[in-house]
A and B are shown apart, each in its own frame.
Chain A
Amino acid sequence: LAKTTQPISMDSYEGQEVNITCSHNNIATNDYITWYQQFPSQGPRFIIQGYKTKVTNEVASLFIPADRKSSTLSLPRVSLSDTAVYYCLVGDENNYQLIWGAGTKLIIKP
């Protein structure tokens, strides 16, 4: 099972672009990279998933280099409401035992 490494915490300011990087050196050929967001007292919420290169949706972009040993979640023009914990997970569709690390606690300041 591929493990991931993320910064424990990050600070930024409203209106800035925030990039959170995740390392996954042991990623397997069939593994996808998935990011979740969790607010206090709530369950995690799916943000974005990708396999290679770049994926973009209405809330974030995910950048994955060719070697796939890392990935970067990009949040454009953050607001105070983006303050949350962000988790990076790696696994394939048949991997039902994903490993959740402690995530990155992102604090957005006014």
Chain B
Amino acid sequence: NAGVTQTPKFQVLKTGQSMTLQCAQDMNHEYMSWYRQDPGMGLRLIHYSVGAGITDQGEVPNGYNVSRSTTEDFPLRLLSAAPSQTSVYFCASRPDRGDGYTFGSGTRLTVV
């Protein structure tokens, strides 16, 4: 099993550009989520999904969109990048019941 795969690992954007961060899991997990982590801080939830076709907002959703057309994929779209979105982004998944989240290795995004 590959677990949770995130691409790209690094990205530099100019202010105003848009892009999509990819996340895929091969564990048939129903729940998937996107977090951002700023230096020295814990993770903050951006958006989450409890199954294909179902998404909801987390703590810091502004400036981000998500969709969940399949169980495996949960892309995060930045609509118009801003320097405040410079952060490390983590995708995570977990089964409907049971143990904790499995995280991807992260995408380090810099907006200049």
Chain A interfacial positions (CB closer than 8 Å to B): 34, 36, 41-46, 49, 87, 93, 96-103
Contacts and interface: CB of A to CB of B under 8 A. Distances in A.
Contacts of B104: 43
B105 A42 contact: yes
Nearest to B58: A97
A69 B59 CA distance: 25
B103 interface: yes
B24 to A, nearest CB: 14
What secondary structure prevails in chain A residues at the interface with B? loop
Nearest to B41: A102
Contacts of B97: 93
A96 B47 CA distance: 10
Contacts of A43: 4, 90, 92, 103-106
Interface in B1-54: 4, 31, 33, 35, 40-45, 48, 50
Contacts of B67: none
